[in-house]
Amino acid sequence: DMFRAAIKEGTELGLKAKSFMDQGALVPDEVTIGIVRERLSQQDCEKGFLLDGFPRTVPQAEALDKILSDMDRKIDHTINIQVDKEELVARLSGRRICKVCGASYHLV
């Protein structure tokens, strides 16, 4: 999870994200996009990467296009997974997040 990594590393954007997360608020696009930009510029992303849950908004999608364009990269493939509402409710109902380390897990 990019947010947790940025928080653990103590980056400026990570600390900004943490302040929103601690309040139970959504992290603003500006902060999210900055964290994604920083992450995609790391060496281990040079040969490719997988984004899960990003982009979630039109401004995030537009920013991703700009980030990739600046890096002379493009999206090669996308995957759209569709799950019916009942299954989503079942998954979310059992989801928990560890207050100590921030890891997410499921009760089942």
Average pLDDT (87-91) is 90
Counting every residue written for the chain, the total comes to: 108
Distance from C-alpha of 88 to C-alpha of 46, rounded to nearest angstrom: 33
pLDDT tens figures, 12-65: 999 999 999 999 899 999 999 999 999 999 999 999 999 998 999 999 999 999
- What local confidence, expressed as pLDDT, does residue 27 receive? 95
Q: Which band of pLDDT confidence, cut at 50, 70 and 90, is reported for residue 85? A: very high
pTM: 0.77
| Structural domains of the chain ordered from first start | 2-79 (3.40.50.300)
Rounded (10°) CA dihedral 100, 1, 88, 26: 80
- What local confidence, expressed as pLDDT, does residue 103 receive? 83
Does 108 have pLDDT greater than 80? no
73 by DSSP, 3-state: which? Answer: coil
Distance from C-alpha of 40 to C-alpha of 73, rounded to nearest angstrom: 11
